[in-house]
Structure 1
């Protein structure tokens, strides 16, 4: 296979561009493809780059943003289950995947590179933020990401989008209004993770592996949310969460093993379900947590073992 040429100066921005394309698309897989396309386009156009007109980062983001806008033409948004309808009221309903929905995908923090050590880089890919961006039309999405997440000046954003400062400011106001109408603000969506997040998730891990449903329930906020794409069902409240976990252990057995990973700026767990055929455990799902006040307030469980392929974890383990 022939490897497309890439300029080393451009390659240094790969992680930055990957996070940007992910925010725009809501798909890690598509973001990887668009970054590669961006770098190839940049290599082919490198003789036309004028450092007097724009920084290299701005120029690359212009190519990436326009590639994303083209890719988004005619595309459906990528939601989480909570973006499709009201919460369910029966944790015992059949769990039927919706394979026709282009679900939001998780982002492995390891792919952020060196910036993964900064709060800004991690907060910029939080699930709540990326899910909220899906509410916006593509161009407004681009304006909000470039201005509020990447903190670029309005003049640079206008240059990236081939628009005017006035159109950028107007688009940003409309984007903020849309989020505000949905009860969301960018500051809330980008809030840093709880300082005690890791300790809470470690307690959750221990309770889950021990099938200690009572102990696990004590770690949940009263209004905790549980989502399980590609299953469209989502649940709200500690009682529903507890009933669902009871159901999981009844269906799949106990003896699960969980492996800490980092996803979307949060502590996450790769979950391995008991495998009667081998006596070990096999990759089952990825659980991404939102922790506040020392309690789990949201768990998005990506119930598709394929998502774990992006996190460099084994497909199976011994108990």
Structure 2
């Protein structure tokens, strides 16, 4: 058990930015992102013993676990009738043009369907189309076609 825990801690330390990025794409609320992160870690812990790939495949597996966790919780959240609490906290400095663009991009990505959000997230991580396809279980060509359609869809979006 001790060795598994140490291995898990190393894995979390080396992949926490990736996991956090996936979680952040599904919510901008700090508490909800923390919940998504925690649920992802729980699912990684539960599935770690059944993971049989090498270290190279581990990153893709972690992406899949994080994406599947976030997508599942996003679906559950949408099924519940909730009233979001809003705070007057802006994570980006609106005075800066680059910050405005990043905020606009985030809002548009959040309007996408969860699967399309996952594709964009992996693309923004500079993963090759082949690896994106492997993580999501679709062909490389399908990744390419979907990204073109997603870009067109995002261009047409209003804030």
* TM norm structure 2: 0.71
For the 8 Å contact 2:120–2:147, the answer to whether it is kept is yes
Determine the C-alpha separation between the residues in 1 that align with 2:134 and 2:109: 21
Structure 1 residue 154 corresponds to structure 2 residue 156: no
Aligned partner of 1:171 in structure 2 is 146
For the 8 Å contact 1:18–1:31, the answer to whether it is kept is yes
For the 8 Å contact 2:43–2:69, the answer to whether it is kept is no
Aligned-pair CA distance for 1:127: 2.2
For the 8 Å contact 1:106–1:127, the answer to whether it is kept is no
Aligned-pair CA distance for 1:174: 1.7
Aligned-pair CA distance for 1:138: 1.3
Q: How many residues align?
A: 144
Aligned partner of 2:34 in structure 1 is 32
* TM norm structure 1: 0.39
Determine the C-alpha separation between the residues in 2 that align with 1:6 and 1:34: 21
Determine the C-alpha separation between the residues in 1 that align with 2:152 and 2:146: 10
Q: Which has the larger radius of gyration?
A: 1
Query: CA 1:137/1:10 → structure 2, altered by over 3 Å: closer, same or farther?
Result: same
Aligned-pair CA distance for 1:155: 1.9
Aligned partner of 1:138 in structure 2 is 114
Q: Output one character per residue of 1:181-230: Cα deviation in whole Å (capped at 9) or x when no partner.
A: 1379xxxxxxxxxxxxxxxxxxxxxxxxxxxxxxxxxxxxxxxxxxxxxx
Determine the C-alpha separation between the residues in 2 that align with 1:34 and 1:5: 22
Query: CA 1:177/1:104 → structure 2, altered by over 3 Å: closer, same or farther?
Result: farther
Give 5+ residue unaligned stretches, structure 1.
77-98, 110-121, 185-319
Determine the C-alpha separation between the residues in 2 that align with 1:8 and 1:135: 34
Determine the C-alpha separation between the residues in 1 that align with 2:115 and 2:86: 20
Determine the C-alpha separation between the residues in 1 that align with 2:151 and 2:62: 25
For the 8 Å contact 1:143–1:157, the answer to whether it is kept is yes
Aligned-pair CA distance for 1:16: 2.9
Query: CA 1:53/1:179 → structure 2, altered by over 3 Å: closer, same or farther?
Result: same
Aligned-pair CA distance for 1:140: 0.8
Query: CA 1:38/1:5 → structure 2, altered by over 3 Å: closer, same or farther?
Result: farther
For residues 131-280 of structure 1, the aligned pairs below 5 Å read 131-147=107-123, 149-182=124-157
Aligned-pair CA distance for 1:10: 2.2
Higher normalized contact order (CA 8 Å, seq sep 6+, divided by chain length): 2
Determine the C-alpha separation between the residues in 1 that align with 2:121 and 2:155: 16
Give the helix-richer structure, 1 or 2. 2
